[in-house]
Copies of this chain bind each other. A is one copy, B any other.
C-alpha cells in the first residue's frame, strides 16, 4: 500500500497546474494544450479539459473558443480591481481572526512564515511568493469564514498572476516584516491593529507593482511541470 496516485482526478490536475502557476513556473500567456496536459498527467483529453475548465472558472486561465487554454494575463484594470476587492475583505477578516486566535493558530502562522523564509533562503522566489499568498488564506481560515476564505483564495490566486506580470521591486523583506507584525497583532487579539496592518500591507503590495505600462509577456511554452 504505497501509492496514493491511483486516482488522478481532474481536480488534482487543476490543483497541480494552479500551484505551478502560483509559483510562477508557468508564465502568464502560456498555452495549455489539452493533449499535452493529458499526456503529462496520464489521462485523456476529457479529464485534462475538465481541469482547464475548472481553472478558467477561477480566472487562472483564459479559455478561447477554438483556440485553446492560456494562462490568464490580468489587465492593469483587473489588477486594481482585485486589490480593491482584497482591501474590502481582508482587513476586516484579519480583525475577526484576531478575535478567534488560538495558540495553535499562532503556531501554524509562525511555522508558515518560517517556510516562507526557508524558501527565500533557498532562492525559490516563486515558492516564497506562493507561501506568502497562502499566509493570507490561512488568516481567513482562522477567522472561520469558509465562504470569505474561498473568495480570498481566488483573489490571492489572481494576485499571483498580477505579481508575475507587474512586479517592480523586491518586496520580500518588507513582506516578511508585515507578516511578522500581523502575527504579533493577531496573537495579542488586537483586532484593531490587525485590521490596520492588513490594510497597509495590501496598500504596500499594490504600491510595489508597476501598473503604469501594460506589460506584454507573450509567455513561451511550459516545461516547468516537474513534480
Q: Which A residues are within 8 Å of any B CB, using their own CB?
A: 50, 53-54, 57-58, 77-78, 81-82, 84-85, 88-89, 92-93, 145-148, 151, 155
Known contacts A50-B53, A89-B89; decide if A78 and B148 are in contact (CB<8 Å): no
Ordered by A's residue number, 27 sampled pairs between the chains whose C-beta atoms are within 8 Å are A50-B53, A53-B53, A53-B54, A54-B57, A57-B57, A57-B58, A78-B146, A78-B147, A81-B145, A81-B146, A81-B147, A81-B148, A82-B147, A84-B145, A84-B147, A84-B148, A85-B89, A85-B145, A85-B148, A85-B151, A88-B89, A88-B92, A88-B93, A88-B148, A89-B89, A147-B155, A151-B151
Docked Cα-Cα span, A78 to B149, in Å, equals: 12
Docked Cα-Cα span, A77 to B78, in Å, equals: 31
Q: Which residues of B contact A50 (CB under 8 A)?
A: 53
- In the assembled complex, how far is the CB of residue A4 from the closest CB belonging to chain B, in whole angstroms? 17
Say how many copies of this protein the assembly contains. 2
Docked Cα-Cα span, A148 to B151, in Å, equals: 10
Docked Cα-Cα span, A54 to B49, in Å, equals: 13
With both beta carbons as reference points, the residue of chain B lying nearest to A81 in the complex is identified as B147
- In the assembled complex, how far is the CB of residue A94 from the closest CB belonging to chain B, in whole angstroms? 12
Docked Cα-Cα span, A77 to B144, in Å, equals: 10
Docked Cα-Cα span, A81 to B148, in Å, equals: 7
- In the assembled complex, how far is the CB of residue A33 from the closest CB belonging to chain B, in whole angstroms? 19
Docked Cα-Cα span, A84 to B146, in Å, equals: 11
- In the assembled complex, how far is the CB of residue A51 from the closest CB belonging to chain B, in whole angstroms? 11
Q: Which residues of B contact A147 (CB under 8 A)?
A: 78, 81-82, 84-85, 155
Q: Which residues of B contact A84 (CB under 8 A)?
A: 145, 147-148
Docked Cα-Cα span, A89 to B146, in Å, equals: 16
Q: Which residues of B contact A92 (CB under 8 A)?
A: 88
Q: Which residues of B contact A81 (CB under 8 A)?
A: 145-148
Q: Which residues of B contact A85 (CB under 8 A)?
A: 89, 145, 147-148, 151
